[in-house]
Structure 1
């Protein structure tokens, strides 16, 4: 009886444990279902946000407006621009080698002169007196030579006579020695006086040269550009003598001196053609040809330049010395070539547009750096990427480029034609 009751009690405990285990298992299943529901809800929210973002970006792509320019064919001219001034081919500063008072001035500004024409004359009173004095000294020296010759002849005669007397024992040796001394002295006096004649002749020649220098003459044919002296002015000759006149050579042939930047000097060469303008005639261009490129550099405001000299025909005398000029040197001329605007080489589409059409999962990828200026690490040498508008969307085209004039660049090869329009800019539309 006791055993029967004990069995019943054991069965009751086992049943209770089973019920408790069932309750606990049911609780765990309920919590698992709740977590799965929350996870599914979170995934749905993420997908909804991604879809909304994708939809918004798709709308953004559709709202870009593009600025395009047509690919064109034509002539391309590569220019190097440089500034400088118009100068005479020959220019001479005239000064005086002598000091004195200016007596006459025979020319004025713009006077046309020939080589040898007298421009001005210094007062010659002192110079003429110097010539007369030098001539008188020369005449005196010549007279002294005549006297010295006579003295020499007399001394020679006396010496010969005494030599005969000494041989005949009529005269003494002392008398012969004295005669010999007088003869030698006469020879020396003759040489001295002849040297004085040479010195006097040189002094006279110098005085005459100085008298000739009182006349200031033109060394070249040309035009008087400046005159800085008037009659009566005192001229002081020194190592830094003042310039009295500036004469320019034939103004029908001028030269243009321009400063070429060191970055451009490698592109220019002797014989290249150029055109230039001056402020006096802004609507007119003048032709020129490079005649010289100087090796010496010039540094102005820390900018290194090289002087190029261009020959200019000035037959109509419109150009004047010192005029400021801006020149365009033609370094290359390409005929009938395909060209794209330089703005197309610098353009890169917005990043959202460039990534368009790759699906919603592209939103979860890390962003790529956008291209700049049409450059790309995958391109080499003269390859460039431009973007052509096709079906309302930008499409990349790789081209090979050549020369550029700063606005357009030559296309030497690539899948692009005159029918294409390249994108140069893009802007978002506003609703």
Structure 2
């Protein structure tokens, strides 16, 4: 009787153990299935990769000039209009010269008088009736009058405004009757003339990208008015100082530097534009992609697969059973979506592109903060 009871208990224990093991195995299988399903993967493939730097700039002419007066007078004639082509030396406007003509006539009259006085003083000196001092004074007065006449002639000539270069009148010139004021700091600009056949882009590049830019690199850009059309350009100049000259801490620049210390630093990059059909207009906003490096048949993974920790860059390679393993990698160039893998993976491998990176043994934060140094 007792033996039968113990036997039954043993049988029940075995059944319970088998059921528990089966349940645990089923649970583990379900969990692994869910985990495998939750992992989004990407293949390690080869493709042609291009690394670019994005920037925004403005279309401007290579050569342009402000036409301003060297004297102050009202504009009496404007002989050209916007979009007219002009040649160097061509008269484009005239200023009211009545006052300058009167000054020139007065200067000429004084030259004539002082010349007569000089001739008289010379004759008197030659016959011993005049002194050397009288002759010197007469010579000084004549020379002074000559200088005044030269200036008057120059001022009168400046009433005729000529084009300093070949080009096109851009924008509307000033109207007749406008007072054209001379000056070094803020002169009146009568008109602008530019060589629109040669254009450039003045682009602003972030300081984190400026080190990748080199003279001669090719670029493409778009403008809003031509949807879907791409233009080409070439890097021709890279500024040595940032757009705000924040390095200059002398004088008033010190305040500007301090106030902008937390701002993003930009550098001007100039690109020569290919525009054979003269489609682009000055002042248009250009969205530029500068090609900084290219590589054919590069081994790549999506950037979303790349992670970093205190030991460097790594990816989570997906094994045959759906599990992941951390694999250190060496990276190369970046595009907008992909990164080159120089070592650590082979074509055909699968990598996880989820962001649940394994924690580092010495650091709990392994979230990627941006492209690691190349």
Aligned to 2:272: 311
Return the alpha-carbon distance in structure 1 between the equivalents of residues 103 and 326 of structure 2.
Answer: 93
* Structure of larger gyration radius: 1
Gap regions ≥5 residues in structure 1: 1-40, 157-182, 346-372
CA 1:237/1:413 → structure 2, altered by over 3 Å: closer, same or farther?
closer
With normalisation by structure 1, the TM-score equals: 0.69
CA 1:50/1:303 → structure 2, altered by over 3 Å: closer, same or farther?
farther
Q: Does 1:86 align with 2:59?
A: yes
Runs of 4+ in 1 over 4 A off after TM superposition: 48-55, 395-398
Aligned to 1:10: none
Return the alpha-carbon distance in structure 2 between the equivalents of residues 406 and 412 of structure 1.
Answer: 18
Aligned to 2:110: 137
Return the alpha-carbon distance in structure 1 between the equivalents of residues 74 and 158 of structure 2.
Answer: 13
Q: Does 1:218 align with 2:163?
A: yes
Structure with greater helix percent: 1
SS in 1 for 2:51: strand
- Show CA shifts across 1:305-337 (max 9, x none): 010111112221111111101111111101111
Question: What is the RMSD computed on CA atoms of the aligned residues?
Answer: 2.8
Aligned to 2:75: 102
User: Contact conserved, 1:344 with 1:387, CA < 8 A, in 2?
Assistant: no
Q: Does 1:284 align with 2:229?
A: yes
Q: Does 1:412 align with 2:373?
A: no
* Paired residues for 1:46-195 under 5 Å: 56-64=27-35, 65=37, 66-155=39-128, 183=130, 186-195=131-140
Aligned residues: 323
- Of the three residues 326, 331, 346, the one matched with 1:401 is 331
User: Contact conserved, 1:110 with 1:224, CA < 8 A, in 2?
Assistant: yes
- Show CA shifts across 1:198-246 (max 9, x none): 1111111111100100011111111111234212333333452221111
Return the alpha-carbon distance in structure 1 between the equivalents of residues 344 and 233 of structure 2.
Answer: 37
Aligned to 2:350: 421
SS in 1 for 2:278: coil
User: Contact conserved, 1:102 with 1:120, CA < 8 A, in 2?
Assistant: yes
Gap regions ≥5 residues in structure 2: 1-12, 245-259, 357-374
By how many angstroms is 1:292 displaced? 0.8
SS in 1 for 2:128: helix
User: Contact conserved, 1:388 with 1:397, CA < 8 A, in 2?
Assistant: no
User: Contact conserved, 1:252 with 1:313, CA < 8 A, in 2?
Assistant: no
Aligned to 1:344: 305
User: Contact conserved, 2:82 with 2:173, CA < 8 A, in 1?
Assistant: no
By how many angstroms is 1:107 displaced? 0.8
